[in-house]
Structure 1
Amino acid sequence: MRFVLKLVLFLALLIGIVAGVFYQQYQSFIQQTLNIAADQSVHFEVKPGSHIRQVTQQLVEADLLPKTTLLPADYLFLAQARFSKQANKLKAGEYVLEAGMTPADLLTRLASGKTLQYQLGIIEGHTFKELVKAIQEHPHIKQTLSAEDYKNIMPKLGGALGESAEGWFYPDTYNFPRGTTDLEVLKRSHQAMRTYLMQAWEQREPHPLIKTPYQALVLASLVEKETGMSDERPLIARVFLTRLEKNMLLQTDPAVIYGMGEAYEGNIRKKDLTTDTPWNTYTRSGLPPTPIATPSKAAIDAVMHPAETNYLYFVATGTGDGRHFFSESYEQHRKAVAQYLANDKKRQQGTSIQ
């Protein structure tokens, strides 16, 4: 009986010693910081479906956990995850870990879902081809679409078979975590464009020749490519609408360039203006069959709310500032063209333009 009592006391003492050692080691561990050099940061990825033991093993392999003396760091980290009830709350994704973070900070970060975000800028005035190139070259977008998929992408976005993708993506800067697919990026931008276009359409000033939101999108793309000046967009939108009303050709060079495709080498020649394509607004009346680029919010707004003017023509000033002369008659337009040529010549010669 005495032996049993001594054994029980010994085991109790042993357990107390072990508990004391564990507590001391645990307290030391949770107060230390991760193995990250000062002023440095580390990217750490929690893979989809990972449980706490797998994440802990990743941390050990990356040598991120604080150094310990008696008990293994992974054992102490697992204990902390259990005690803090965060073991089952870790969220997949890529995280930024900074110097000075403690194991508790690390668990909070991995459970927050605040993953590292990457960016893709969809630029107004760019074509769908340029957008595809930007997506394909982005190192953190998961590539799932083939060249054939891109040729007929609209059904994957909820559109119709054979529908052109041109102009259907809202220009903005999109944030996303690593591993986001190309299709997910396109869906976000496409939905943003549809949403904004319909909102603008509902609030538009109706025009009898712009009968659908898609026609407005096409016209907005022409406005976008003609000027980068916000105050000129409503003026140019009105010029195009007035020409449509008068059954005049739109005669917009950017549409001709779009129709030329790979044949365009930087300059439009007279034969290019007379070579018919579906987008040649010198040979065909009305709007082109599709947009020619991604229109900005400002260009869409300009089409929905054009300026009140009688202008029928516009031409660049030739001063290199991106602005235009606007004219109500062809005679005025001819004088504006002459001024453009004179200004452009002076600018190329380096002469001051008054």
Structure 2
Amino acid sequence: MTERQRRVQPGRLRDPETGEWNRKEIWHYLRGWVAVAVALAVVFGGLWFVGTRAWDAWQEFRTAEDYEGEGAEQVQIQIPTGATMRQIGDLLAEADVVSSADTFVRVANSRSEDAARVQAGTYSMLTRMPAAAAFERLLDPAFQVRDMIQFREGQRLTEQVALMAEATGIPAEEFTEVVTNRIAELGLPEWAPADNAEGFLFPDTYELPTDRTALSVTRLATTHFSTVANELDFANQAAASPAENPYTALIMASVLEREANRQEDRYRVARVFYNRLAEGMPLQSDATIAYANNITGRVFTTDAERAIDSPYNTYLNTGLPPGPVTSPSRNALDAALHPAEGNWLYFVVVNLDTGETEFNDTYEAHQASVNKLQEWCQTQAPGRCQ
């Protein structure tokens, strides 16, 4: 074998004697490995592509049925009265709270006893929630958005109408129509007059209904009045009281609500007024004068206001006014039914800060109490007693 032949012997990368590289063999080997690497890259790239597409398809399938995670953005969902789980699921799916209404319904059906606890109302939810998490939120009162309205003790009907209109966005005229011309629909006691709803909207805090109307909102308070009246056995107790009938007792309670600063004093103020009625004396109630003049926020009235020509003017007229002047509290209703025992004919608040009130049998003693009030006004609260 010649020297040249030995150097180029196939399969040898280097000459064993000289150590020279066989460039032809090196290129042959490299070309083979490159081909293998390319083949492997094609295989693994294909596997990666197929795997990625398969994973994406699986995730798409999963999220088409249900979302994962904790949810995304805040959103409020309103569930109407009487909605079925299917209808609730549709509402949630439309708002993107759940991915599938079917999945939500399956969750609800698997927990049928809990599903019965889901109430109508507005709920704070998250978009893209798992169906089970959305269902749990509907069971948790902490996530229910409560729309409330509060009637305070001693408010008159016009104030309550304005409050209902503001709280609901329903025009005040619609509430006025209800309390003026639709009184028969308010569920009032049978002894209530057919033409006057004043005094029958019980002062309390109420949750506004989802499907609200002027009638449904007003009925929240009138229905509660009937409940309280039944609890007090108001009609029967009134018949046995100095009022002699429930509507007269309601009128008396409405006056007591504004005239007595402290609850414990209302029973004695009731006795003063009943005694004055028995004596044929005018009540001389500033609460009725305020009602006749449509004024609020003041304790005292002026001579001009007390001269108004109105059946509610208890300075000029004897007897009770023709109707309630406020919505009385439960305490005032009870005081009208159960006045304290006593011979008092007069009372006056002698300290507007504490509500301290003095009761007297004679006009002379009453004037002494009035002087005490005037002294307190001059030294403690100039301008408040105007």
TM-score by length of 2: 0.69
CA distance in 2, matches of 1:269, 1:154: 34
| 1:95 aligned onto 2:123 | yes
What's the CA shift string for 1:139-192, capped at 9, x where partnerless? 477989264344334122145785211101111111234332231122231122
Q: Which runs of 5+ in 2 are unaligned?
A: 1-53
What's the CA shift string for 1:55-81, capped at 9, x where partnerless? 66654564444xxxxxxx44xx53453
1:124 matched residue in structure 2? 153
The secondary structure found in structure 2 opposite 1:317 is strand
What's the CA shift string for 1:31-58, capped at 9, x where partnerless? 8234236xxx532124578777876665
Report if aligned partners of 2:107, 2:135 keep a CA contact under 8 Å in 1: no
Shift of 1:217: 0.3
Return the structure number with greater relative CO, CA threshold 8 A, min gap 6: 1
The secondary structure found in structure 1 opposite 2:381 is helix
Shift of 1:209: 4.3
| 1:165 aligned onto 2:197 | yes
2:71 matched residue in structure 1? 35
What's the CA shift string for 1:202-258, capped at 9, x where partnerless? 673865641211100000011001023011111101111111111111111110121
Q: Which runs of 5+ in 1 are unaligned?
A: 1-17, 66-72
Match among 174, 195, 208 for residue 227 of structure 2: 195
Shift of 1:196: 2.1
The secondary structure found in structure 1 opposite 2:263 is coil
1:181 matched residue in structure 2? 213
1:231 matched residue in structure 2? 264
| % identical aligned pairs | 28
Classify 1:249/1:323 alpha carbon distance in 2 versus 1 (closer, same or farther; 3 Å).
Answer: same
Report if aligned partners of 1:171, 1:294 keep a CA contact under 8 Å in 2: yes
Classify 1:295/1:84 alpha carbon distance in 2 versus 1 (closer, same or farther; 3 Å).
Answer: closer
Match among 224, 247, 250 for residue 214 of structure 1: 247
Classify 1:235/1:95 alpha carbon distance in 2 versus 1 (closer, same or farther; 3 Å).
Answer: same
CA distance in 2, matches of 1:64, 1:205: 55
CA distance in 1, matches of 2:195, 2:59: 67
The secondary structure found in structure 1 opposite 2:174 is coil
What one-letter code is carried by the residue in structure 2 that aligns with 1:303? A
2:132 matched residue in structure 1? 104
What one-letter code is carried by the residue in structure 1 that aligns with 2:213? T
Classify 1:98/1:347 alpha carbon distance in 2 versus 1 (closer, same or farther; 3 Å).
Answer: farther
| Match runs of 1:297-308 below 5 Å | 297-308=330-341
Shift of 1:25: 5.2
What's the CA shift string for 1:292-350, capped at 9, x where partnerless? 00000000111111111221101121443223221111110011111111111001359
CA distance in 2, matches of 1:148, 1:237: 33
Report if aligned partners of 1:320, 1:347 keep a CA contact under 8 Å in 2: no
What one-letter code is carried by the residue in structure 1 that aligns with 2:123? Y
1:6 matched residue in structure 2? none
Shift of 1:97: 2.2
Classify 1:55/1:336 alpha carbon distance in 2 versus 1 (closer, same or farther; 3 Å).
Answer: closer
Q: Superposition RMSD on alpha carbons, in Å?
A: 4.0
| 1:252 aligned onto 2:276 | no
TM-score by length of 1: 0.75
The secondary structure found in structure 2 opposite 1:231 is helix
| Match runs of 1:192-341 below 5 Å | 192-200=224-232, 201=234, 204=237, 209-261=242-294, 268-341=301-374
CA distance in 1, matches of 2:291, 2:266: 20
Classify 1:203/1:52 alpha carbon distance in 2 versus 1 (closer, same or farther; 3 Å).
Answer: closer
Classify 1:124/1:84 alpha carbon distance in 2 versus 1 (closer, same or farther; 3 Å).
Answer: closer
Q: Which stretch of structure 1 is more off in the superposition, 340-349 or 265-274?
A: 265-274
Report if aligned partners of 2:124, 2:145 keep a CA contact under 8 Å in 1: yes
Classify 1:265/1:213 alpha carbon distance in 2 versus 1 (closer, same or farther; 3 Å).
Answer: closer
CA distance in 2, matches of 1:191, 1:134: 18
Tell me the matched-pair count: 321
| 1:81 aligned onto 2:105 | yes
CA distance in 2, matches of 1:268, 1:104: 62
CA distance in 1, matches of 2:88, 2:230: 45
CA distance in 1, matches of 2:376, 2:203: 33
2:32 matched residue in structure 1? none
| 1:133 aligned onto 2:162 | yes
2:180 matched residue in structure 1? 151
Which of the pair has more CA radius of gyration?
A: 2
Shift of 1:117: 2.6
2:6 matched residue in structure 1? none
Report if aligned partners of 1:257, 1:264 keep a CA contact under 8 Å in 2: no
CA distance in 2, matches of 1:181, 1:243: 43
Q: Which stretch of structure 1 is more off in the superposition, 214-223 or 303-312?
A: 303-312
